[in-house]
């Protein structure tokens, strides 16, 4: 995969609710760039659903608005993913507008959703952004762990049935787990994603500009405040990082990533009480993070402790079976143990996962009278 749309930079997962200090308004204004006349100012938000004239003409040629809504929906899905038409390919970590996704023929799930919703609305369909309340999964870029969640599209057909169009079919979203979000919220996610991508590339001024833009759209979006903290931390502005994490926890007392990051700052500043409070929450949950297990395995490999490395990797694979680098590391373990047969099996499994993740896939589910019709 990795599927997603919301990118939250963090180190460990925590979960709890508590009161945190309220940051000073002066620090918050500095974070937001209030009164700033230069530098990383908020951007004028783009229209992520804008369609080029070429795309509008294409939809006009392919779709008859007199068709039933379910037929229009099926044709749009065909347009996006058929090998002889758009053939949009999943590309993790690349967030794009609808038109950019069409032009590049690739993008992550938010990018694909932008393109679908834009085309769907133009063809007269009800189409909205939808966050999948699935268990968050984890990805890794260098030494940074990234918490990712998933976004797809949903709407009501002319028959009254609800549909969910997902570009990664392993993400089955049951009806009770649907959370439809506004276009504005999706736009804030768009800029949050761009910021996270910039942080990974160490383009911190650009990241701050994107984050300020997101907060100008959704001022209480905890995920954006968390990424702002990650950026300020990398710029060694610890007071601004702490204030950003505090804002994140204020707006979302269950924001795991922000609480973990805040814990680290408290401990480094000598605030043992609050630092340990959050650190203890981290300990209860980080064992469920497959990338934490992978990190333990890498440390064990460096120490030459192949038995421990294999144990940690087996847990990581049980938690997340579709991560190729876990099997690459397992191959290293078997190399160290002199087990060439299992080394080759591990390498083959890693290649199979990479090949599978590169395939173009989508799923369509229609909810009718409590039943799900998958197409």
Continuous H helices in 24-68: 25-32, 53-62
If we measure between CA atoms, which residue out of 184, 153, 156, 164 comes closest to residue 48? Answer: 184
Determine the topology of domain 289-357 in CATH: 1.25.40
At 38, the pLDDT band (50, 70, 90 cuts) reads low
Helix (H) or strand (E) holding 89: strand 89-90
For the record, the structure tokens of 274 come out as 């609050």
The set of residues, in sequence order, having a beta carbon less than 8 Å from that of 77 and lying 6+ positions away, is 165, 362, 364
Note the pLDDT tens digit of each residue in 308-346. Answer: 999 999 999 998 888 888 999 999 999 999 999 999 999
Name the residue with higher pLDDT: 1 or 247: 247
Q: Which CATH class is domain 1-284?
A: mainly alpha
pTM over 0.75: yes
How confident is the model at residue 175, as a pLDDT? 45
Q: Which of helix, strand or coil describes residue 363? A: strand
Q: What is the model's pLDDT at position 13?
A: 29
Is pLDDT at 237 greater than 90 in this prediction? yes
pLDDT at 272 over 50: yes
- Token representation of residue 155: 């709407």
Instruction: Note the pLDDT tens digit of each residue in 155-187.
Output: 999 999 989 888 765 544 444 456 899 999 999
On the CB side of 269, CA atoms within 13 Å amount to 14
pLDDT at residue 153 tops 50:
yes
Domains 1-284 and 289-357 are alike in CATH topology: yes
Nearest to 167 by CA among 138, 194, 132: 132
End-to-end Cα distance, the chain: 21
Task: Say what the pLDDT of residue 19 is.
Answer: 60
Instruction: Please say if the pLDDT value at position 363 is more than 80.
Output: no
Backbone φ and ψ of 320, nearest 5°:
-150, 100
| Mean pLDDT, rounded, of the chain | 83
At 144 the pLDDT is 56
Q: Are 308 and 282 in contact (CB under 8 A)?
A: no
CA angle (302, 304, 309) in 5-degree steps = 80
The pLDDT tens digits of the residues spanning 100-118 come to: 999 998 888 899 999 999 9
Residue extents of the structural domains in the chain? 1-284, 289-357
Q: Mean pLDDT: which of 80-89, 224-233, 293-302 is highest?
A: 224-233
| Residues 85 and 102 sit within 8 Å (Cβ to Cβ) | no
DSSP 43: P
Average pLDDT over residues 271-281: 82
Q: Where is pLDDT greater, at 248 or 289? A: 248
Q: Is 90 exceeded by the pLDDT of residue 361?
A: no
Round to whole Å and give the CA distance between 116 and 126: 11
Residue 295 CA to residue 46 CA, distance in Å, equals 39
- Both tokens of 184, joined, read 């504005």
């Amino acid at each position: 995969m990795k599927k997603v749309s919301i990118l939250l930079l963090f180190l460990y997962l925590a979960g709890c609710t508590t009161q945190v200090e309220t940051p000073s308004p002066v620090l918050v204004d500095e974070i937001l760039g209030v009164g700033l006349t230069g530098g990383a100012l908020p951007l004028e938000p783009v229209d992520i659903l804008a369609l080029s004239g070429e795309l509008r003409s294409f939809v006009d040629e392919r779709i008859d608005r007199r068709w039933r809504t379910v037929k229009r929906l099926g044709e749009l899905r065909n347009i996006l993913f058929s090998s002889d038409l758009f053939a949009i390919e999943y590309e993790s970590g690349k967030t794009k507008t609808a038109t950019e996704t069409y032009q590049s023929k690739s993008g992550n799930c938010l990018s694909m959703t932008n393109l679908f919703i834009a085309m769907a609305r133009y063809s007269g369909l009800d189409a909205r952004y939808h966050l999948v309340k699935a268990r968050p999964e984890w990805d890794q870029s260098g030494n940074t762990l990234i918490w990712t969640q998933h976004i797809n599209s949903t709407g009501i057909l002319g028959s009254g049935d609800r549909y969910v169009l997902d570009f990664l079919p392993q993400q089955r979203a049951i009806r009770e787990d649907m959370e439809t979000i506004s276009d504005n919220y999706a736009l804030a996610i768009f800029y949050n994603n761009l910021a996270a991508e910039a942080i990974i590339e160490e383009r911190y001024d650009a990241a701050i500009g994107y984050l300020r833009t997101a907060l100008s759209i959704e001022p209480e979006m905890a995920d954006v405040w968390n990424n702002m903290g990650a950026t300020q931390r990398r710029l060694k502005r610890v007071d601004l990082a702490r204030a950003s994490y505090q804002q994140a926890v204020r707006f979302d007392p269950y924001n795991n990533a922000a609480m973990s990051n805040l814990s680290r700052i408290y401990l480094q500043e000598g605030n043992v009480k609050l630092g340990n409070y959050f650190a203890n929450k981290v300990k209860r949950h980080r064992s469920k993070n497959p990338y934490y297990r992978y990190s333990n395995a890498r440390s064990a490999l460096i120490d030459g402790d192949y038995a421990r490395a294999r144990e940690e990797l087996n847990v990581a694979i049980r938690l997340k079976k579709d991560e190729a680098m876990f099997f690459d590391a397992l191959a290293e373990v078997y190399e160290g143990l002199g087990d060439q047969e299992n080394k080759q099996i591990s390498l083959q499994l890693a290649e199979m996962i990479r090949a599978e993740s590169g395939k173009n896939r989508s799923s369509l589910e229609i909810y009718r009278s409590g039943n799900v019709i998958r197409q």
